């Protein structure tokens, strides 16, 4: 029944490693997002995908790469992890059209700790 699910919920890893976070939504939404929430609790958009096409690509390092095999999935792959990557990463989805963005539905978050 979970609308937006992401795994893993917790991830602890060493600097320099590569890791992935998976996200799936069963709401039939057209758009999915990845957000980063740092220790100051500020939500920052990283990527969004609309029908498998990247429509927002904020100024994030190219070590971060979103991958969307279909419109229900948007995975986040991170190469060469750095200490500053430690944060909570939220996946979200919405139904977007030209009149409004629609309500965002968030996953539970994935807390990444880089040691």
Q: Interface with other proteins by CB under 8 A: which residues? A: 40-45, 56, 90, 96, 98, 100-101, 103-109
Least distance from other proteins to the Cβ atom of residue 79, Å? 26
Judged by beta carbon, residue 15 or residue 55, the one nearer other proteins is: 55
Judged by beta carbon, residue 14 or residue 39, the one nearer other proteins is: 39
Diameter over CA atoms, the chain: 44
- Torsion of the alpha carbons at 21, 24, 30 and 32, rounded to the nearest 10: -30
Judged by beta carbon, residue 53 or residue 103, the one nearer other proteins is: 103
32: left (phi over 0), alpha (psi -120 to 50) or beta: beta
């Amino acid at each position: 029944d979970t609308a937006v699910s992401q795994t893993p919920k917790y991830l602890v890893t060493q600097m320099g490693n590569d890791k992935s976070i998976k996200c799936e939504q069963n709401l039939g939404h057209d758009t999915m997002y990845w957000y980063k929430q740092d220790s100051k609790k500020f939500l920052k958009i990283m990527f969004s995908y609309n029908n498998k096409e990247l429509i927002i690509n904020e100024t994030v390092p190219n070590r971060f790469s979103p991958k969307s095999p279909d419109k229900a999935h948007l995975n986040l792959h991170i190469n060469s992890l750095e200490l500053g990557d430690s944060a909570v990463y939220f996946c979200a989805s919405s139904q977007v059209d030209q009149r409004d963005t629609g309500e965002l539905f968030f996953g539970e978050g994935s807390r990444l700790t880089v040691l």
